[in-house]
Every structure is written in C-alpha cells, then in structure tokens.
Amino acid sequence: MKNGPDYYQILEIKSVNASHEDVTREFRRLALKYHPLKSKDKIAENMLKFSKICEAYDVLSKPELK
C-alpha cells in the first residue's frame, strides 16, 4: 500500500504513464481554476487546494520523483 497523497488524482490525471505535457496541462488548468485570488469567497479553501496542486506538480514534473 502506498503512503502519502495520490498526486495523479490531485491533478485529475487518469494514467500513471502521463507525459510531462499532460501533467503540465492539467496543472495549469487546475491552477487557474483554484488560484486563491480567483474567488474572494473561497480564499482559504482555494489556498489549500492550490497548495496541493502545486505540490503534486512539483513531484510529477520530476521523473526521478514520480
């Protein structure tokens, strides 16, 4: 059993064989959607989600960490 967050799920990527371009595209899409300044009503919620998205991208964008 794997410990820690499922970065593919966080970035809504269906395949663990996703290309770097796929990872980048999904990161950008979600980063724009959940940016903390996008909605003044949901700043705290979006900050948490945005932080998770950034962490997932940081890991999945580096082949040695995948």
Distance CA(17)–CA(43), nearest Å, equals 33
pLDDT digits (tens, 9 = 90+) for 13-23: 999 899 999 99
- According to the model, what pLDDT value does residue 2 have? 57
Q: Residue 35's Cα: distance from chain center in Å?
A: 12
Cβ atoms 12, 30 nearer than 8 A? yes
pLDDT digits (tens, 9 = 90+) for 2-56: 567 899 999 999 998 999 999 999 999 999 999 988 878 889 999 999 999 999 9
Residue 30, classified by CB atoms within 10 Å of its CB into exposed (0-12), middle (13-18) or buried (19+), is buried
CATH class of 7-60: mainly alpha
Cβ atoms 33, 45 nearer than 8 A? no
pLDDT band at 1; cut points 50, 70, 90: very low
Say which DSSP state 64 is in: T
